[in-house]
Amino acid sequence: MLHNKRILLGITGSIAAYKAALLARELQRRGAEVRVVMTPAATEFITPLTLATLTGHPVSSDFTENKDSGEWTNHVELGLWGDVFLIAPATAQTLSAFVAGSCDNFLQAVHLSSRCPVVVAPAMDLDMFSHPATQSNLNDLRSRKVGIIEPDNGPLASGLEGKGRMAEPAFIADWLDHWFTERAPLKGKKVILTAGPTHEPIDAVRFIGNHSTGKMGYALAVALVEAGAEVHLISGPVQLPPPPGVTSHVKVQTAEQMLDAAMMDFHSFDIAIATAAVADARPANQSKEKLHRDELPDAIQMESTPDILATWGSLRQPHQTIVGFALESDDGIASAMSKLNRKNLDFIVLNSMAHPGAGFGTDTNQITIFGKDGNSHKFDLKSKADVAQDIVAHLLKHLYP
Ligand code: C5P
């Protein structure tokens, strides 16, 4: 769940600040992007250079970038950047400043201007932690929905032993992972997704297929998993590894096999998305053996394959959302609209091969989404991973208007 998450890591002046470097590393190892802000006191315990080198981004600890030039560091931008503002370690002083809404240093200014949720991992001596003032501050923060990662028991820098050690970096990363999972917008939703081409056999070695690589469908599977959905992927023959985190990954060859897999337990799914480039027709006579040159027919008699998406559309129940794709070689608007209605969809994603960088095999795509409410949304040319994020965002707006 930390994959692609933007974590703004705030470090305050505690000896546990040295562990913030390990924490930044652990969060990055799990796929998160990390930016760091520090209080001036924290820079006494660990250098901004260490964190800047580890994260690959400048570290801010002051309102001014460069005192001579008068350039200001934009605390508002940083506050808006993160999916979460994690303060680890969080000193008693910073907890108290958060409760009071103080703005005595740059990190506190970021706190006041951040719109994302805040999580704190306190670190301090045992008596400071158990002091009624600190406990009351933590309760205030809790009531404001600030996440609190409880400190550990154990030896403290003072030589005393007790509760106050900052939780270990791996524990903090696990805690955040669980926290993101609980808050994921598609948590509890079951999604069935078709992807890739189908291959319709002519004989034992030849088939009719198409150029679909499955990249768009697989990128969408990743984005759906990241949004917390339980994803069941049915894929035609592609050269891609299974997307991480999918609950099931069924590989098929033909449209008939894809239909069988797609109808399995169909009514238990909340969302069904058809990105597959399913062959519309197949050879009517398929030889089990390889046909030799002199046995090859002059013409191949074709018959229609089942339309999986239209079958879903005809059997849908009110709780289900159904999404289709249309790949067209012209601008495609009329045929996308006709498929939307004919196949009984909630919305359809049109990608036109008329746009450079869109369609089969590319790493980019350019889409327009048409809804059954008559609205359309055109998106810029983007990587397929970013297009997948746009489609999930659209799906969320559709589910939770
Ligand atoms: O009619 P057309 O093939 O252009 O429709 C495209 C949409 O229908 C896509 O979402 C595709 O996955 C789906 N489809 C399907 N089964 C077929 C043909 C298309 O699910 N046999």
Q: How far apart are CA 86 and CA 166, in angstroms?
A: 13
Q: Which secondary structure element, helix H or strand E, spans residue 97, and what is its range? A: helix 92-100
pTM of the model: 0.84
Q: Ligand 1 pocket: which of 303, 307, 345, 349 to mutate (most atoms <8 Å of CB)?
A: 307
- In the predicted structure, residue 68 carries a pLDDT above the cut 70: no
Q: What is residue 65's predicted lDDT score, i.e. its pLDDT?
A: 64
346 Cα–ligand 1 center, Å: 15
Secondary structure of residue 394 in the 3-state scheme = helix
Catalytic residue positions, numbered: 210
Residue 307 Cβ inside 6 Å of ligand 1? The answer reads: yes
The minimum-distance atom of ligand 1 relative to the CA of 276 is 12
Q: What is residue 70's predicted lDDT score, i.e. its pLDDT?
A: 66
**Whole-number average pLDDT of the chain:** 94
> pLDDT tens for residues 120-168?
999 999 999 999 999 999 999 999 999 999 999 998 888 889 999 999 9
Length of the chain in terms of residues written: 401
Q: Which of 74-83, 302-311, 368-377 has the lowest mean pLDDT?
A: 74-83
Instruction: Kindly list the structural domains of the chain, giving each domain's residue range(s) and its CATH number in brackets, ordered by start.
Output: 6-183 (3.40.50.1950), 190-399 (3.40.50.10300)
Q: How far apart are CA 401 and CA 190, in angstroms?
A: 19
Q: What is residue 331's predicted lDDT score, i.e. its pLDDT?
A: 73
Q: Which residue has the tokens 């794709």?
A: 325
Residue 322 Cβ inside 6 Å of ligand 1? The answer reads: no
Residue 94 Cβ inside 6 Å of ligand 1? The answer reads: no
Q: What is the mean pLDDT of residues 189-214?
A: 97
> pLDDT tens for residues 166-176?
999 999 999 99
304 Cα–ligand 1 center, Å: 12
Residue 276 Cβ inside 6 Å of ligand 1? The answer reads: yes
327 Cα–ligand 1 center, Å: 9
E strands, 241-366, are: 248-251, 271-274, 281-283, 302-304, 321-328, 347-352, 364-365
- In the predicted structure, residue 22 carries a pLDDT above the cut 90: yes
Residue 312 Cβ inside 6 Å of ligand 1? The answer reads: no
Token pair recorded at residue 306: 């089942």
Residue 367 Cβ inside 6 Å of ligand 1? The answer reads: no
The minimum-distance atom of ligand 1 relative to the CA of 279 is 21
Q: How far apart are CA 14 and CA 91, in angstroms?
A: 6
Query: Which residues neighbour 87 within 8 Å (Cβ) at sequence distance 6 or greater?
Result: 9, 10, 11, 12, 94, 107, 111, 118, 119, 120, 121
Query: Which residues neighbour 109 within 8 Å (Cβ) at sequence distance 6 or greater?
Result: 63, 75, 103
Query: Which residues neighbour 93 within 8 Å (Cβ) at sequence distance 6 or greater?
Result: 12, 13
Q: Which residue has the tokens 């705030």?
A: 10
